[in-house]
Amino acid sequence: MTIRVAVVGAAGRMGTTVSRAVEEAEGLDLVAGLDIGDELAVEPLNGADAVDFTVPGVTETNVHTLIDAGVDVVVGTTGWTEESYERVREHLARVEGRSVLIAPNFALSAVLAMSFAAKAAPYFESAEVIELHHPTKVDAPSGTAVATAQGIAAARAEAGLGAMPDATRTDPDGARGSVVDGVHVHAVRLRGLTAHEEILLGNLGEQLTIRTDSFDRASFMPGVLLAVREIGRREGLTVGLEGLLDL
């Protein structure tokens, strides 16, 4: 059976790459490419599953509109919070048979890195996350870094570990970065980068470094296509690609 796909944010860098990948993929049919100024409604969507790669400021509104239009949605736009996830869950509970998958990263190496970090976190005294992206990225820290830090924090909490050691008392310029659930996260914006993350875990006398590098947006496409093929089988909200990879 052919899966019909509409790309929202089709004129953007990621949207263009997604559109091309869908066109070239077996069993998928690109039926619409929508961008700023286009209406997200039944007719222009043409009954297709939607893939949203827009910007953080509009992605949640898009998802609610797409749910009301009666389609399933795969979301690669970052900027989501627990509160915005919950609003989508509540919306999906009021309709029948609709599915939304929101993933902070579709690169398989990044999904695996997040999983490895969470598994390693209980065995290390310290952990920090460094994310590195191109300077046109509009949000910081990245959704991937936030999800990584949250996974580390949850694994440490489940293991009964307390706060990580840090004697810093004076940091007027924020050199220690942001803090996500007790985990320090540092953002780099540098010309020439695409999407990269380094996770540092340390004990006395040893360090584990987990690093993932995406050098081209094509690296995200296997994960996007997997999500498009699976979304119709998972009613409700799915957060993260790891659930589709049996991790």
* Residues belonging to the active site: 133, 137
Peptide bond into 141 cis (omega under 30): yes
161/121 Cα distance (integer angstroms): 10
- H or E element, residue 60: helix 56-68
Calpha distance 173→216 (Å, rounded): 33
* SS3 assignment, position 217: helix
User: Residues 103, 241: contact at Cβ < 8 Å?
Assistant: yes
Contacts of 34 (CB under 8 A, 6+ apart): 6, 7, 8, 9, 10, 40, 44, 45
Measured in whole angstroms, the distance separating CA 193 from the mean position of its chain's CA atoms is: 18
List 197's β-bridge partners, or say none. Answer: 131, 212
Contact 3, 51 (CB under 8 A): no
For residues 165 and 125, is the Cβ–Cβ distance under 8 A?
A: yes
Which amino acid makes up residue 228?
Answer: V
What CA–CA distance (Å, rounded) separates 22 from 222?
A: 10
